[in-house]
């Protein structure tokens, strides 16, 4: 089931190709958590150099995808201003467990752990899975 499709995500986030890294949201609890999907395809520009004979999705883009999912949660909060830009300020406790390659679907689970509406500052944590196996884990972002 799709809660937010690619068009609704584009209404929420400012990111566009090639940096729009959430294809759809399939589960959403307002202000708390979301599950999003990133479909990894060979036509993404980073695969030409990372790596030419063994394409692997860069770990920093996996983290960015989960940060964008956190942005979807925050920018849909009642006190968020429509059209706000969401900045990624820090990340701690990142662990990569499995390479992500073209053809994979990353299922990302992100949970908001802190929200300071007055300052527009959020903290979240997340886990990404491919074929039911953990590929990335973020302790705090």
Distance of CA 24 to the CA centre of its chain: 10
Give 4's DSSP letter: B
Give φ, ψ of 74 to 5 degrees.
Answer: -70, -40
Looking at the DSSP bridge assignments, the partners of residue 116 are: 121
50 is catalytic: yes
* Active-site option among 15, 24, 46, 50: 50
**87-101: string of b/e by CB count within 10 Å (b at 16+)?**
eeeeeeebeeeeebe
Catalytic positions are 50
């Amino acid at each position: 089931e799709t809660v937010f499709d690619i068009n609704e995500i584009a209404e929420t986030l400012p990111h566009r190709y090639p940096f729009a890294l959430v294809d759809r949201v399939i589960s959403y609890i307002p202000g708390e958590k979301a599950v999003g999907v990133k479909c990894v395809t060979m036509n993404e520009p980073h695969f030409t150099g990372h790596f030419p004979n063994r394409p692997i999705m860069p770990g920093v883009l996996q983290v960015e995808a989960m940060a964008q999912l956190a942005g979807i949660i925050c920018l849909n909060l009642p006190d968020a201003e429509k059209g706000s830009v969401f900045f990624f300020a820090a990340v701690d406790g990142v662990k990569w467990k499995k390479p992500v390659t073209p053809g994979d679907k990353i299922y990302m689970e992100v949970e908001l752990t802190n929200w300071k509406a007055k300052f527009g500052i959020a903290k979240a944590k997340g886990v990404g899975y491919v074929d039911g196996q953990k590929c990335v884990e973020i302790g705090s972002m």
